Amino acid sequence: MGRGGRRENAGKKLKWGEEASRIGVPKSIGNDLVSTLEHLWEKGVRGQELINALQSAEFRKIRKYDYPVSAGEHSTSSVGGDSLNTNYEEVDLLQTLIEEPDRTFIVPVSGDSMIGIGIYPGDWLIVEKLASHSPESINGQIVVVAVNDETMVKRYKQGDGEIILESENDEHSPIRVSESSEASVYVSGIVKNAIRRNLSKF
């Protein structure tokens, strides 16, 4: 009786679909690095695209200076000349502006109903999807909300038997939706930040 030979693809399934190599990395970041690779791999990121994704973190960092610039009548410091030479830190804008990347999306703004809190037409809103949809969790928050077929950004208030969607502009009246009405109200998420994209229009 002949002996069985080695079967193709037999044995332990390769985690990455190919042989893995051992590389030396600092122990303090080893687990995080593997987790990041696994996350990108599961999303289908491969080859040069994967390398670019890992390298991109370096180029997201921007200098943030401790020295504030004055928007008032008097300077905030007596330092002369180019004061933006020292005392800075490098910040990652993605980590600074977005707390939950997997639950975050961006939408542009049209209209002026929220200018009272600094949301202007053309801005980008960074919105975090709700972890829970209880009225208590969003009461008083700035949200992206759909009423029937119209999506808008408003301050959400839970009133006595009604939902109140308030603007931050006196020229726009609140939208009131009775809880007994047939109107559909769906909150997509809470607005975390607004990005002003083009100041030249002001």
Question: Could you read off the pLDDT of 149-176 as tens digits, one per residue?
Answer: 899 999 999 988 899 999 999 999 999 9
**14, part of any domain:** no
Catalytic residues: 113, 154
**81, part of any domain:** no
Give the number of domains in the chain: 1
**112, part of any domain:** yes
Q: Which helix (H) or strand (E) holds 36?
A: helix 27-42
Query: Residue 41: how many CA atoms within 13 Å on its side-chain side?
Result: 10
**13, part of any domain:** no
**92, part of any domain:** no
Degrees (nearest 5) of the Cα angle 112, 115, 120? 65
Which of the two residues, 136 and 73, has the higher pLDDT score? 136
- d(CA 182, CA 172) in angstroms, rounded, equals 23
**103, part of any domain:** yes
Residue 24: what pLDDT?
72
Closest C-alpha among 93, 189, 77, 181 to residue 132: 189
- What residues make up the domain containing 158? 98-202
- d(CA 177, CA 184) in angstroms, rounded, equals 9
For the stretch 34-46, pLDDT in tens is 777 887 788 887 8
Residue 186: what pLDDT?
92
For the stretch 101-156, pLDDT in tens is 889 999 999 999 999 999 999 999 999 998 876 667 899 999 999 999 899 999 99
Domain containing 170 — which CATH number?
2.10.109.10
**57, part of any domain:** no
For the stretch 78-103, pLDDT in tens is 455 555 667 888 888 878 888 888 89
